[in-house]
Amino acid sequence: DAGVTQSPTHLIKTRGQHVTLRCSPISGHKSVSWYQQVLGQGPQFIFQYYEKEERGRGNFPDRFSARQFPNYSSELNVNALLLGDSALYLCASRHDRLAGGQGNEQFFGPGTRLTVL
């Protein structure tokens, strides 16, 4: 069974541009979350989507947006890129939002490395 997949693997953009990152969850998982990880830090929560609805947002500006599609895949969009947006963007999926037991375990994809010049 395939794990969480993300595309692209690497991306180089310039300041002011827009970027779209994509994520496909593990089959059967309905919850997708996005995280930003800058070098030397732990990941920071950006968004969580469940059943195509936004269920939570971290402390990120409105330049960051996301959506989830009927097949539970997701896109993260970042507008007006800044140098500080350079980071590893991680997507995680979970079987069911706050379901009991191991259904709460989050599984991460390999990430998209974004470099803003």
Partner 1 sequence: KQEVTQIPAALSVPEGENLVLNCSFTDSAIYNLQWFRQDPGKGLTSLLLIQSSQREQTSGRLNASLDKSSGRSTLYIAASQPGDSATYLCAVTMYSGGGADGLTFGKGTHLIIQP
Asked if 44 interacts with partner 1 (CB under 8 A), we say yes
85 phi, psi to nearest 5 deg: -80, -5
Asked whether 91 and 6 are in contact (CB, 8 A), the reply is yes
Q: Which is nearer to partner 1, 13 or 97 (CB)?
A: 97
Say how many residues touch partner 1, by CB under 8 A: 33
Q: Which is nearer to partner 1, 46 or 81 (CB)?
A: 46
Which parts of 46-75 interact with partner 1 (CB under 8 A)? 46-48, 55-58
Asked if 97 interacts with partner 1 (CB under 8 A), we say yes
Asked whether 26 and 47 are in contact (CB, 8 A), the reply is no
Q: Which is nearer to partner 1, 3 or 16 (CB)?
A: 3
Q: How far is CA 88 from the centre of its chain?
A: 10
67 CB burial (10 A radius; 0-12, 13-18, 19+): middle
Q: Which residues bind partner 1 (CB under 8 A)?
A: 4, 6, 33, 35, 40-48, 55-58, 88, 90, 92, 97-98, 101-102, 104-111, 113
